[in-house]
Amino acid sequence: MATQSAKKVIVYGGRGALGNAIVQHFKAQGWWVGSVDLHANDEAHGNVAITKHDSLLEQEQEILAGVKNLVGDGQVDAILCVAGGWAGGNIADKDFVKNTDLVLKQSVWSSVIACRLSSAYLKPGGLLTLTGANSATEPTPGAVGYGLAKAAVHQLVKTLGAKGSGLPENSTAVAILPVMLDTPMNRKWMPTADFSTWTSLDYVADLLRQWSEGKTRPNNGSLVALITEKGETKLQYS
């Protein structure tokens, strides 16, 4: 159960490479950290393990109950959804529908449930971040389902920034739009890439902490692209 004194954050996707970096960073800064993922993150103070995969409604109820068990009647300062994944292929690919189903569950289901958590557990003035993709601001013929899912996340965040979205009072919803994150798996599959154009996980974790603390926080409904060149990351807002 979360303590009353510490700032609190729920990291949705806390077992992935980026999620784990965020869990560790916030914990080191004195935050109470809860993780939602398929498996527990031992670094987090509390975990919700997802076992329901066939129904969005069942998954929502499982996660709501799990977060209720973690925070009780309390609220959290930030909900950071960094769950996701990638799948390629155009519409002629035999696995097009299968891959689209996968990425919709990874990116859209997680984002929708993160919104539901925000309506129930985010403090007024809190922060909700979702994860889009800079590539999905343009056509993605080599990864149709992925582009579709991420574009839906962008639309969702824009809507959350509008009046009457149901977001807690004075809260902020933002999407980060990475180009390429510097993860071990990405390095494994792209060993000859120019890593100086990849965004470090520590940079993203620190950025989200600053926003969670109200520092340099973007406007509600913002899409924030993470553009890295020669190891330096700049933010582009839309």
183-188 contact pairs (CB < 8 A, 24+): 183/17, 183/18, 184/17, 185/17
pLDDT for residue 6: 86
User: Considering the domain boundaries, does residue 2 fall inside one?
Assistant: no
CA–CA gap between residue 169 and residue 157 (Å, rounded): 16
User: Considering the domain boundaries, does residue 130 fall inside one?
Assistant: yes
Please check the confidence at residue 2 and state whether its pLDDT lies above 60. Answer: no
Is 72 exposed, middle or buried, given 0-12, 13-18 or 19+ CB atoms closer than 10 A? exposed
Domain containing 196 equals 8-237
pLDDT digits (tens, 9 = 90+) for 12-58: 999 999 999 999 999 999 999 999 999 999 999 999 999 999 999 99
Evaluated on CA atoms 199, 204, 206, 207, the torsion sign reads positive
User: Considering the domain boundaries, does residue 3 fall inside one?
Assistant: no
User: Considering the domain boundaries, does residue 185 fall inside one?
Assistant: yes
pLDDT digits (tens, 9 = 90+) for 59-104: 999 999 999 999 999 999 999 999 999 999 999 999 999 999 999 9
User: Considering the domain boundaries, does residue 219 fall inside one?
Assistant: yes
In sequence order, what are the beta bridge partners of 199? Answer: 181
Number of domains in the chain: 1
Residues acting as catalytic residues: 146
User: Considering the domain boundaries, does residue 198 fall inside one?
Assistant: yes
Return the SS3 of 228: strand
Please check the confidence at residue 167 and state whether its pLDDT lies above 80. Answer: yes
User: Considering the domain boundaries, does residue 1 fall inside one?
Assistant: no
Q: CA-CA-CA-CA torsion for 181, 187, 191, 193, nearest 10 degrees?
A: 10
In sequence order, what are the beta bridge partners of 131? Answer: 176
User: Considering the domain boundaries, does residue 144 fall inside one?
Assistant: yes
Average pLDDT over the chain reads 96
pLDDT digits (tens, 9 = 90+) for 172-210: 999 999 999 988 888 898 998 989 999 999 999 999 999
- pLDDT band at residue 216 using 50, 70 and 90 as cut-offs: very high
Q: What is the DSSP string of 147-169?
A: HHHHHHHHHHHHHHTSTTS-PPT
The model carries a pTM of: 0.95
Main-chain phi, psi angles of 73, to 5 degrees: -95, 10
| Domain at 13, CATH number | 3.40.50.720
Token pair for 101: 């189903």
